[in-house]
Amino acid sequence: MKTFKLIAAALLCLAPLAANATPSTQIWIPSTDVQKFKSVHLNVDNYVSSEKETAGNWKAPLLVIGPTVGVLPYEKVKAEIGFDLMRAGVAADSDPLYLHAKIGTPEGAAFAGSPAFALGGYNFGTKKDVTDQNIIYGLAAKNVGKFGRFSAGYFSGNDKVLVDENGDKENTGVLLSWDRTIGEVSDKLWAAVDYQGGDSALGALSFGLAWAFTPDTSVIFGYDVYNNDKIAGANTYTVQLDINLW
């Protein structure tokens, strides 16, 4: 029982760090998009609580910042690697480094009319059974004319870290998303809705809009509704700045 309490305490400290160390993403979950060879992308993501917790306190804001680099010089198979630093005013901040990587193919690369495919991993933390969520995922995505792009996949992670409020395993689940450029308004406007399954701190329904100020700079404004507020805490507003450095 003492061991369980120690693990539970560590997990509760980690709960505000539910934000994903960011490979190329939608709002919350990974996407099948992969950075081009030699491109360097910087993300600066902020998550702010939408309301006070049950105890009357505000959940600390979360800042996620880090680069992603394209590493394969091929058109039909691309790969990216990167890392993020996360800060949320909790004990896990002493181990803020999280790694991620992805390999994928664009639509039509595997065969005529094929979906885009991606296989990757993220939230590879450096503190054993505290920050090492170690999530592996697979995704497929397909554009359906004017209806936009639909994505579906599955993930699995560390069952010592991805748990519910009772310490039970919640380390697997579906990944679903829809996204579309709203060209009827402007080619600079983009919308998305995505979902990550499970009752760990990662499970969430997220939606938002993005505006591209330049071809290399955009900002996402979104909202995250967590599947299990007992471990993830209050829902959050998110503002995500994405910059292609080169």
Comparing 10 with 131, the larger pLDDT belongs to 131
Q: Which residues contact 157 (CB under 8 A, 6 or more apart)?
A: 123, 133, 134, 135, 136, 171, 172, 202
Q: Which pTM does this prediction carry?
A: 0.88
- H or E element that contains 74: none
Measured CA to CA, the distance from residue 139 to residue 11 in angstroms comes to 27
CATH of 2-244, one of 3.40.50.1000, 3.40.30.10, 2.40.160.40, 3.40.50.720: 2.40.160.40
Is residue 71 predicted with pLDDT exceeding 50? yes
Q: Which residues contact 54 (CB under 8 A, 6 or more apart)?
A: none
**Mean pLDDT value of segment 112-124:** 96
Residues forming beta bridges with residue 190, ordered by sequence position: 181, 210
Looking at residue 171, its pLDDT comes to: 98
Looking at residue 56, its pLDDT comes to: 73
Q: Do residues 70 and 78 touch, judged by C-beta distance below 8 A?
A: yes
**Mean pLDDT value of segment 91-107:** 91
Is residue 102 predicted with pLDDT exceeding 90? yes
Is residue 6 predicted with pLDDT exceeding 50? no
Measured CA to CA, the distance from residue 45 to residue 194 in angstroms comes to 17
Percent of the chain whose pLDDT exceeds 90: 81
Measured CA to CA, the distance from residue 115 to residue 149 in angstroms comes to 10
Tell me the pLDDT tens digit for each residue of 205-225.
999 999 999 999 999 999 999
Give the CA distances from residue 81 to residues 62, 122, 157, in Å, rounded to whole numbers and listed in that order: 22, 10, 18
Tokens 């309490």 belong to residue: 5
Looking at residue 57, its pLDDT comes to: 81
**Mean pLDDT value of segment 137-155:** 97
Comparing 16 with 191, the larger pLDDT belongs to 191
* 46 alpha-carbon distance from chain centroid: 12
**Mean pLDDT value of segment 81-109:** 90
Domain ranges of the chain: 2-244
Percent of the chain whose pLDDT exceeds 70: 90
Q: Do residues 195 and 173 touch, judged by C-beta distance below 8 A?
A: no
CA dihedral angle for residue 99, residue 105, residue 107, residue 109, rounded to 10 degrees = 180
DSSP string, 8-19: HHHHHHHGGG-S
Tell me the pLDDT tens digit for each residue of 15-60.
334 455 556 889 999 999 999 999 999 999 999 999 887 777 888 8
Measured CA to CA, the distance from residue 238 to residue 25 in angstroms comes to 14
Residue positions counted in the chain: 246
Looking at residue 2, its pLDDT comes to: 31
Is residue 158 predicted with pLDDT exceeding 70? yes
